[in-house]
Amino acid sequence: MELIETLRTTGAAREFLPDPVPDEVVHRVLDTARFAPSGGNRQGWRVIVVKDAPRRRSLRDLYLDGWYQYLAISGAGLVPWAPVTDRAAESAAAEGADGLREAAAAGPGGFAEHLDEVPVLLVLCADLRVLAAVDRDLPRYTMAGGASIYPFAWNLLLAARAEGLAGVMTTMLIRQEAEVRRLLGLPEEVIVAGVLALGRPARVARRLTRRPVEEFATVDSFDGPPLTGR
């Protein structure tokens, strides 16, 4: 597939056909994804391919704990767990999670409720010993270390596309990191960076919607004139 078309059409897929994905295909995807850039080329990622059914169900249950909180908070008009937010309002909104859980139990469920059934379930981890987190000591939320991990995740999704697969990366299980650590035997210096679900998509996205360049790129300052292509 031509590169620009791939970049403009690779969306998130959360519904998959039940077809199994052979290990050799998963291996090829990871073999291509490993060429992602990282700070100092230290490649601080680790991937756990979760096949064991009980472990998958445990990850699903841990995922749902955060998922219903996410829905409750976003339903109140807030961005869930935004670094800058109204914490009191967020906490109050999260109390509605149990009601959402009960309502979901009465229906067929979606991606979250069936996370354990996705064809390929990958837990993406990061080794804190090799991340150059240049903003580590700033008095704010830290982000820079992820620059050495998340390009690998995006490479993985693009490589999956070339194999006729699709998927999504979710960070929801980070909220349950202590439990995930025990479940998967992660050493103390290794953290959960996300989970990727892959499979043959039930439907292919034909058109993605994103903000135009003029809404997020400015010239010379944050409030400078928008960059245009003219």
pLDDT digits (tens, 9 = 90+) for 156-184: 999 999 999 999 999 999 999 999 999 99
What is the pLDDT at residue 200? 97
| Count of domains observed in the chain | 1
Asked, for residue 166, whether it belongs to a domain, the answer is: yes
Asked, for residue 40, whether it belongs to a domain, the answer is: yes
Asked, for residue 158, whether it belongs to a domain, the answer is: yes
Asked, for residue 89, whether it belongs to a domain, the answer is: no
Return the closest-CA partner of residue 124 out of 15, 49, 176.
49
| Residue range(s) defining the domain that contains residue 140 | 3-51+112-215
For residue 145, what pLDDT band results from cuts at 50, 70 and 90? Answer: very high
What is the pLDDT at residue 183? 98
3-state secondary structure labels for all residues of 84-140 = CCCHHHHHHHHCCHHHHHHHHHCCCCCCCCCHHHCCEEEEEEEEHHHCCCCCCCCCC
Mean pLDDT of the region 122-129: 98
Asked, for residue 168, whether it belongs to a domain, the answer is: yes
Domain with residue 176: its CATH number is 3.40.109.10
Return the closest-CA partner of residue 62 out of 185, 154, 189, 195.
195
For residue 1, what pLDDT band results from cuts at 50, 70 and 90? Answer: low
Asked, for residue 93, whether it belongs to a domain, the answer is: no
Asked, for residue 86, whether it belongs to a domain, the answer is: no
In degrees and rounded to multiples of 5, residue 223 shows phi and psi of -105, 25
Residue 206 clears pLDDT 80, i.e. is over it = no
